[in-house]
């Protein structure tokens, strides 16, 4: 920022528009000597503030674009293919998930060090998920911290990833609590309540809680089949709703039979 300010000072020293404008202000000042200089200087101040605001917005947009590109480089690495054989493009293919995760972490750490929010917090989330491959305990700790983030999207994503980690580790009670918290948010976001409820139903199955699992899966499928848009037309089923129906049919065929008939027009959405 300091370097940018110095550059702007040098530019203003040779700005013909600035020189011309100040010349006009001086001549008008002489004409309004003793009568309107205060007004004139007030107008000049407003003009200069507008110019500085424009410069600030331009700088802000440039930094935002730069931050997004930096974040994109990390995401590209995190989603790059993994191949144990000789890759065709060594620069964009990694031998294993650990190597890819470490490279992604290094790229995201640059974002954390250089840019502010929301990019810093987003980069921290990607670092946490990448750490699951190289330092699982540290990654879980980071996700737990980020689940309390002031960014609702990052908090929800982190909580969901943490719940998945707990589920994978067999900590079903903790996983169920986290999934329940997301489901109760009742907000449409990156992780929908429907998706969280589906995972909750699956956890109940792993806990041997057949009734709780069937109830949860039934609620998802039943609500989805009854959902209508503002015109009264059937809404397409989400992937979560369709999976809930399939799991309920396997778990409790009698309960599945109680679902309202699926509309032929209800396709699949994501």
Residues 121 and 158: beta-carbon distance below 8 Å: no
| 268-269 and 237-238 strand pairing | parallel
Q: What is the mean pLDDT of residues 256-264?
A: 87
Neighbours of 76 (CB within 10 A): 12
Residues 6+ apart with CB under 8 A from 205: 213, 247, 251
Calculate ∠ Cα 160-99-75, nearest 5°.
50
CATH number of the domain at 151-263, please? 1.25.40.10
* HSE-up (13 A, CA, CB side) for residue 7: 6
Residue listed under structure tokens 């899966």: 217
Q: pLDDT digits over 17-39, tens only?
A: 444 444 544 554 454 444 444 44
- pLDDT band at 84; cut points 50, 70, 90: confident
Neighbours of 107 (CB within 10 A): 21
Most confident option among 1-5, 19-23, 88-92, 229-233: 229-233
Q: How far is the C-alpha of 167 from the C-alpha of 199, rounded, in Å?
A: 9
Q: DSSP readout, 203-225?
A: HHHHTT-HHHHHHHHHHHHHHHH
The first and second tokens of residue 220, run together, are 């998802």
Does residue 255 have a cis peptide bond before it, meaning omega lies within 30 degrees of 0? no
Strand ranges inside 170-267, DSSP E: 237-238
- pLDDT band at 91; cut points 50, 70, 90: low
Residues 149 and 127: beta-carbon distance below 8 Å: no
Query: Quick one: which H or E segment has residue 268?
Result: strand 268-269
As a whole-number percent, the residues of the chain with pLDDT over 70 amount to 72
pTM of the predicted model as reported, rounded to 2 decimal places? 0.73
């Amino acid at each position: 920022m300091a370097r940018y300010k110095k550059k702007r000072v040098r530019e203003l020293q040779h700005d013909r528009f600035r020189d011309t404008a100040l010349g006009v202000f001086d001549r008008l000042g002489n004409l309004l000597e003793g009568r309107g200089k205060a007004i004139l200087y007030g107008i000049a101040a407003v003009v200069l503030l507008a110019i500085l605001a424009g410069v600030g917005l331009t700088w802000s947009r440039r930094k935002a674009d730069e931050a997004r590109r930096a974040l994109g480089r990390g995401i590209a690495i995190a989603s790059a293919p993994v191949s144990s054989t000789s890759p065709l493009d060594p620069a964009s293919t990694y031998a294993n998930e650990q190597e890819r995760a470490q490279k992604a972490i290094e790229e995201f750490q640059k974002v954390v060090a250089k840019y502010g929010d929301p990019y810093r917090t987003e980069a921290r989330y990607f670092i946490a998920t990448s750490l699951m491959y190289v330092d699982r305990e540290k990654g879980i700790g980071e996700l737990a911290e980020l689940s309390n983030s002031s960014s609702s999207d990052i908090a929800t994503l982190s909580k969901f990833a943490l719940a998945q980690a707990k589920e994978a580790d067999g900590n079903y009670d903790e996983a169920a609590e986290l999934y329940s918290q997301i489901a109760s948010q009742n907000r449409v976001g990156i992780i929908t309540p429907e998706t969280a409820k589906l995972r909750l139903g699956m956890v109940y199955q792993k806990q041997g809680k057949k009734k709780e699992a069937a109830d949860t899966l039934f609620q998802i499928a039943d609500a989805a089949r009854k959902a209508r848009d503002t015109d009264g037309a059937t809404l397409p089923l989400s992937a979560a709703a369709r999976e809930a129906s399939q799991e309920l049919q396997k778990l409790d065929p009698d309960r599945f039979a109680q679902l309202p008939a699926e509309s032929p027009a209800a396709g699949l959405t994501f």
